[in-house]
Every structure is written in structure tokens, then in C-alpha cells.
Structure 1
């Protein structure tokens, strides 16, 4: 939660790979499907029209349960430093509302970059916490994937 009371997720991660490499992982459907989502989830398909006003649709398969989709529209596409898009579930929980995700990247040395994530505003703390957990696990998988490519 921010000082003004808005329910937001704010995360920062240091990743192996410079901004162009990380930006590709965040935007190319094949790459995104390798790490997206909480632990145990798979991503059977990613459709993406990567341009301002373009839409995306990500199919997510939990370890148990039925396939579901998240969808949205790209607001800002500024490779390799910034990406912003709307985020909503196709079949939302009653506590859900559309949020905006903003990802900012900057190189911190010759091999690593820093990713700042901001998402909000959520309707309830429960939904904010759910997204924070999902992002934390997904970005953990992204970090492992990028680190394995440095070896």
C-alpha cells in the first residue's frame, strides 16, 4: 500500500541480462510463456500485438483447476526501458477491477539490469496480495531463467 492509501504492488528485482534481453523476455510470447505466472502454473498460449493500443491475451493453467485468461491493452511500448499495459481477467472475481502494470528497466552494470514493477489500483487488499505473490513467484522464475543463460 502506498502512503496515499492506494492498493498497489511495487516490486524491484535485479536481473542477469541487460535491458534489451530482459525486455524481450517481458514481451516475446514464446519467452513470456516460459516464466509467467505463479509457481506450478503453465502458459499454453500468449497472443500479443505489441504496440500502443494493441491487445494481448495470456492463457494460464493452474496445477489444479480450469484454464483461464488475462487480457489487456498496451498503453506504452518503449523498448528497452518501459512497458505499460492494462490487466484484467476475462472472467473476473467480484473483487477484481482492471489495473495498470508499468515495468521500467535500467542497466546497473555491464551484465545486469534492474526491473521496477508497479501495478494498481486494486479494489481490495486480498486481490493486491494475490497479485504480489503471483508477480514475486513469476519474477523469481524469470530471474532463474536469465541466470541460467549467463552460465
Structure 2
């Protein structure tokens, strides 16, 4: 048993720079994973409540990029960029996320997809370049609530797809 494991006395070296959000989604792991791999899916659920997404370019694959704009409910546009750094279907996706390529404040996220009976447990583990950047994301951009809302939108989307697929 590791001293740095969950619930252990020691914290990971990145604990003060991390946000971890998880959710159980009532859909098969392959479908939840697929919702991250195809732009036709991403544009339907990506982002917090009230946000929409416009993709400018999308290439899913290690080294590929997703260049997109998130449109806030107040009309503000947020330029975003993701580069995929690791893909292990249907278990894991790692990515770098910033405003643009070369963004010094870009953060790393690892998404894991674990079967939970017929459902899927998804975990988003995000590590920021500094504690200050993490705190800014939490306080200014409400990153924890936004992440929870995004996973909630994902859950609603893939649950509906799974339901419709079962009716075919």
C-alpha cells in the first residue's frame, strides 16, 4: 500500500495544483469515450450550462488539435485550444488545454473511463502550472462547478443516445 494513495497521509506532489471531478454516467464506457472523440458529439454537450461551442478545426489523435470557441450565456466568446497527448481507447485520454498553442498557462487533464456495472465512472484530473493558476480557475472561472456542469451535460447527452440506440 502506497503512502501517497487516496486517503493516505501524504498528498501527491501536484495536490495543491489539481482539480478532480468525477461522475457516474448511465451509459456504456465505449459510448462515453466516443463522446470525446468525435466533433459531432462534442459540439452537442461540451461546456458548462448555458454555453455553446463552435469548432474551428478538429483532429482527434495524439498530437492532433481541437481549436474552438466557447460562447458564454452573456455573449462572451472564449477562444480555446486542446492538444491530445495520450489516447488509450476506451480507458484514458490525456490532453493539454489552453487559449491557444503555446499558452504558458495551459493545463493538463487526464480523463479516465472505468466501467461501473452497465454505467461508466468518468474522472477528470486537471493539473495547473501553479497553485495560483488553479486558485484563479476555481475562484474567477468557477472551474469546479463548470466541470461538474459539463459532465452533467455529457451524462444527459450520452444517456439519451444510449436510450435511443436501445429503441432501434
Q: Normalized against structure 1, the TM-score is what?
A: 0.85
- The whole-number CA distance in structure 2 between the counterparts of 1:142 and 1:46 is 21
1:136 alignment counterpart: 148
- The whole-number CA distance in structure 2 between the counterparts of 1:16 and 1:58 is 28
Q: Which moved more, 1:114-123 or 1:31-40?
A: 114-123
Q: Determine which structure has the larger strand proportion and give its number.
A: 1
Secondary structure of 1:80's counterpart equals: coil
Across the two proteins, how many residue pairs are aligned to each other?
A: 146
The alpha carbon displacement at 1:124 in A equals 4.0
- The whole-number CA distance in structure 1 between the counterparts of 2:56 and 2:89 is 19
Query: Residue 102 in 1 paired to residue 125 in 2?
Result: no
Q: Deviations over 1:56-94 (max 9, x none)?
A: 11221111233222102111011111100000023xxxx
Pair 1:81–1:124, CA change in 2 (3 A) = closer
Query: Residue 73 in 1 paired to residue 80 in 2?
Result: no
2:24 alignment counterpart: 14
What residue ranges of structure 2 are gaps of 5+ in the alignment? 1-9, 164-168
The alpha carbon displacement at 1:46 in A equals 5.5
Q: Which has the larger radius of gyration?
A: 2
Pair 1:131–1:52, CA change in 2 (3 A) = same
Q: How much is the aligned-residue C-alpha RMSD, in angstroms?
A: 2.3
Query: Residue 49 in 1 paired to residue 56 in 2?
Result: no
Secondary structure of 1:126's counterpart equals: helix
2:125 alignment counterpart: 118
